């Protein structure tokens, strides 16, 4: 495999892993909305692992470039970087939203428990 097609393969892998990270994060949020906490946590872990795989590829590109423009920047490379940044942001926001879903659930459970004991 020549250097150009190897780079294209790595870029596609970056896109695939970043897309997987974003999808897993969004699935984690859906699970949290349904109060499926173990599934939400597992999906967040999957999202983090996929993001790490994508980030390793990005780090390789940065290392190969050495800040000197050695790695050609194509539209697909920019697209891949965009995917990775969106996936990382989505995962971070989903983590925060799941914390909020847990807090809301705890408050709702406390209210139900309180109403049950007051005979409402």
Positions marked active-site = 79
Tokens 């892998």 found at: 13
Distance from C-alpha of 33 to C-alpha of 36, rounded to nearest angstrom: 8
H/E stretch holding 57:
helix 37-65
For residue 91, give Cα distances in angstroms to 24, 36, 85, 110: 8, 17, 10, 29
């Amino acid at each position: 495999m020549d250097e150009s097609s190897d780079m294209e393969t790595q870029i596609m892998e970056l896109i695939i892993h970043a897309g997987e990270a974003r999808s897993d994060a969004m699935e984690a949020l859906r699970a949290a909305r349904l109060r499926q906490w173990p599934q939400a946590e597992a999906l967040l872990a999957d999202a983090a692992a996929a993001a790490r795989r994508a980030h390793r590829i990005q780090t390789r590109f940065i290392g190969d470039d050495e800040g000197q423009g050695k790695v050609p920047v194509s539209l697909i490379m920019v697209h891949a970087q965009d995917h990775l940044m969106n996936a990382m942001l989505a995962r971070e926001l989903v983590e925060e939203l799941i914390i909020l879903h847990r807090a809301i659930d705890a408050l709702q459970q406390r209210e139900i428990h309180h109403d049950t004991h007051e005979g409402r």
